[in-house]
A and B are shown apart, each in its own frame.
Chain A
């Protein structure tokens, strides 16, 4: 009798829960915070463009699904400083009702936001940061890593360069979490392929003059100068390498993380021939072209970087998961994101793995010669498509505790 009463009570609670499912959205609004470098050396890769992409995703999602969700997008500048990033995240979660943070380039900041998000039980869809630790030793049940990572870059560009005969390397490494991870992952690829790493130099973030470091790379006599940096740092190092005759002297540059806006800033004269690994390029198919034209119209004519595409697709999938899970509770939504297959016009069909890694095909591009480019932003040609299963670190090799438990 007692047990029956208990059962009916539980059933009643279950009904109640189902009836109030719609009300499980905190504050009745799903609030998405786009956090990135709005004004510094990474601002063209993410920056205000990521806000545009997030808003497009919200609009498209609500229009396509007629969902009753109320969604708001806010944004902030983390200035590439982990302390600034984690205090914005804390304030957003604690007092501003933000449910999910998107983008967050700069691995050191991303790792900090990753921790805060986990502590507060919210959701984090990272597209901008590179460190493969986000789905490795620092993986979290509240984080999805969407776009790319250092493992992917190392195995894309790194293997291609080694295969082409570049078997001795010297690294110019950005001196923080991202650069260290990228150098580590690339060195492993180089060594596994029988190559040698002759040395590396750790360069402070945002250094304007690379000549001293380039000279060190030159005297190392390495065949390949690996640029384990990003954004303005990569641009300056490529530009000054040309000036100091690095390429003319027989050494080759390997830009390990290069985005479309970087190529736009460098100009094809300087950038031609570079190998680049990216998961998105505007000119891949009709879907990406149509979306990119819409994006450019909203973003002052600037074409999207892969980060912008990642923010769009990540937000789209997040909203889908919120509706499916009928809650905006961080861990539950992220679990739902892993459960549902992903499908969007920019990355095609894919999945989010148990460690939070989003899986999709990745492309090895070569930068066109000025004579091959027909219009502004017509910069890449596809050299090779790396299938989704091969593009990212195998699930069991990342030492992610979420995976080890299984």
Chain B
């Protein structure tokens, strides 16, 4: 059986791969959406922070001998802590100003961080091996699925859905959402709003770093690994609706699938297709698929 001249077996494989790439998009756009939704900061340093996560894993392994599983926890915490410092020292004064200032600041930070790492480690990148427990793969009949990729989908889904749950369904999430609507009122209830915002930024950054650690064994750990990705991920967030958590998750996976299909039918356009979709969505629904017009 064939679909548009592609055997259905091959098609299944391509869809699955799209889903894997989608899980990276989802994880990254989730962090961006959390930061934008709750802080109103357009975090252009997200790609650099993703890169920092991957480098964190590499350095933890080669300097301290800490393996993949340890890094999965420690690297995001460390990178998240740098996020907390950045929020406290640099982003805080910008909340009163236009979005543009936060965007420019984080963009500048990204360039500086990437430049420093390129100077130190070069652009070729560094190798990072797949953890032993996840080496090899399963033959699914229609494709060979590396175990590590299967793990990426599962881990990403779990992280995405629990984040969504915490923010949309718990009391803590309620405070957060309330604080974005009316910080003074929430402060009046005795909640330390500035600290909550700082930790939220740290959490968003940690999510980026987590994606970075998960990406390290698949891609080369290189200073510019987040540079191209960040543009795509922004498109994902815009399509999903700025600040919408569920929107970011669903669009992340969905666009991974669409990109995967483009790689089969018209590979030359595979890096462009997401932006074509973004244009169309913005024309029809300026607030994005899941966004609400304010």
Q: How far is the CA of A261 from the CA of B7 in the complex (A)?
A: 39
Name B198-241 residues within 8 Å CB distance of A. 218-220, 222, 224-225, 228-229
Contact of A204 among B115, B224, B264, B270 (CB under 8 A): B270
B260 touches A212 (CB 8 A): yes
Name B13-39 residues within 8 Å CB distance of A. 13-14, 17-18, 20-21
As a 0/1 sequence over residues 225 to 261 of chain A, the CB contacts with chain B under 8 angstroms (1 = contact) are 0000001100110011001110001000000000001
Q: How far is the CA of A269 from the CA of B129 in the complex (A)?
A: 10
Q: How far is the CA of A240 from the CA of B220 in the complex (A)?
A: 10
A235 touches B267 (CB 8 A): no
B124 touches A264 (CB 8 A): yes
Residues of B within 8 A of A235 (CB): 124-125, 220
B219 touches A236 (CB 8 A): yes
Contact of B126 among A206, A231, A265 (CB under 8 A): A265
Decide: A232 near B124, CB < 8 A? Known: A43-B118, A244-B144, A245-B144: yes
Residues of A within 8 A of B149 (CB): 211, 243
As a 0/1 sequence over residues 109 to 144 of chain B, the CB contacts with chain A under 8 angstroms (1 = contact) are 000000100100011111101100000010000011
A232 touches B222 (CB 8 A): yes
Decide: A207 near B271, CB < 8 A? Known: A218-B144, A232-B125: yes
Residues of A within 8 A of B127 (CB): 239, 265-267, 269-270
* A43 to chain B: closest residue by CB: B123
Pick the most buried of B118, B126, B130: most chain A CB atoms within 10 A of its CB. B118
Q: With an 8 A cutoff between CB atoms, is B148 at the interface?
A: yes
* B260 to chain A: closest residue by CB: A212
B220 touches A202 (CB 8 A): no
Q: With an 8 A cutoff between CB atoms, is B2 at the interface?
A: no
Decide: A215 near B13, CB < 8 A? Known: A208-B219, A236-B220, A244-B146: yes
Q: With an 8 A cutoff between CB atoms, is A99 at the interface?
A: no
A215 touches B123 (CB 8 A): no
Residues of B within 8 A of A245 (CB): 137, 144, 146
How many interface residues does A have (CB within 8 Å)?
A: 42
Q: With an 8 A cutoff between CB atoms, is A219 at the interface?
A: yes
B264 touches A212 (CB 8 A): yes
B267 touches A213 (CB 8 A): yes
A39 touches B123 (CB 8 A): yes
Pick the most buried of B18, B122, B148, B268: most chain A CB atoms within 10 A of its CB. B122
As a 0/1 sequence over residues 262 to 276 of chain B, the CB contacts with chain A under 8 angstroms (1 = contact) are 011001101110000
As a 0/1 sequence over residues 252 to 292 of chain B, the CB contacts with chain A under 8 angstroms (1 = contact) are 00000000100110011011100000000000000000000
CB distance from A28 to the nearest CB of B (A): 34
Q: How far is the CA of A239 from the CA of B220 in the complex (A)?
A: 8
Q: How far is the CA of A204 from the CA of B17 in the complex (A)?
A: 17
Residues of B within 8 A of A208 (CB): 219, 225, 228-229
Contact of A201 among B10, B218, B267, B271 (CB under 8 A): B267
Q: With an 8 A cutoff between CB atoms, is A286 at the interface?
A: no
As a 0/1 sequence over residues 78 to 94 of chain B, the CB contacts with chain A under 8 angstroms (1 = contact) are 00000000000000000
Name B136-165 residues within 8 Å CB distance of A. 137, 143-144, 146, 148-149
A212 touches B14 (CB 8 A): yes
* B227 to chain A: closest residue by CB: A40
Q: How far is the CA of A264 from the CA of B18 in the complex (A)?
A: 30
CB distance from A248 to the nearest CB of B (A): 9
Q: How far is the CA of A209 from the CA of B228 in the complex (A)?
A: 12
Contact of B143 among A175, A202, A203, A215 (CB under 8 A): A215
Q: How far is the CA of A249 from the CA of B144 in the complex (A)?
A: 10
Q: How far is the CA of A231 from the CA of B268 in the complex (A)?
A: 19
CB distance from A260 to the nearest CB of B (A): 10
A261 touches B144 (CB 8 A): no
CB distance from B236 to the nearest CB of A (A): 15
CB distance from A43 to the nearest CB of B (A): 4
Q: How far is the CA of A68 from the CA of B220 in the complex (A)?
A: 47
Q: With an 8 A cutoff between CB atoms, is A314 at the interface?
A: no
Q: With an 8 A cutoff between CB atoms, is A183 at the interface?
A: no
CB distance from A188 to the nearest CB of B (A): 23
Q: How far is the CA of A213 from the CA of B122 in the complex (A)?
A: 27
Contact of A265 among B115, B118, B220, B264 (CB under 8 A): B220
Decide: A265 near B125, CB < 8 A? Known: A211-B20, A244-B146: yes
Q: How far is the CA of A43 from the CA of B130 in the complex (A)?
A: 26
Q: With an 8 A cutoff between CB atoms, is A44 at the interface?
A: yes
Name A1-23 residues within 8 Å CB distance of B. none
CB distance from B28 to the nearest CB of A (A): 12
A261 touches B268 (CB 8 A): no
* A208 to chain B: closest residue by CB: B219
CB distance from B134 to the nearest CB of A (A): 10
Binding site for B on A (CB under 8 A): 39-44, 47, 175, 201-204, 206-209, 211-213, 215-216, 218-219, 231-232, 235-236, 239-240, 243-245, 249, 261-262, 264-267, 269-270, 302
Knowing that A40-B123, A212-B270, A239-B219 are A-B contacts, what are 19 other residue pairs whose CB atoms are under 8 Å apart, sorted by A's residue number?
A: A39-B115, A42-B123, A43-B122, A202-B267, A204-B268, A204-B271, A208-B229, A209-B17, A209-B218, A212-B18, A212-B263, A218-B144, A232-B125, A236-B220, A243-B130, A243-B137, A249-B144, A262-B124, A265-B126
Binding site for A on B (CB under 8 A): 7, 10, 13-14, 17-18, 20-21, 115, 118, 122-127, 129-130, 137, 143-144, 146, 148-149, 218-220, 222, 224-225, 228-229, 260, 263-264, 267-268, 270-272
The 5 closest A-B pairs by CB, nearest first: A265-B124, A43-B123, A212-B263, A267-B127, A44-B124
Q: List 22 A-B contacts (CB under 8 A).
A: A42-B123, A43-B118, A203-B270, A204-B267, A206-B228, A208-B225, A208-B228, A213-B263, A215-B10, A215-B14, A216-B264, A232-B124, A235-B124, A240-B218, A243-B149, A244-B137, A244-B146, A261-B122, A265-B122, A265-B127, A270-B127, A302-B122
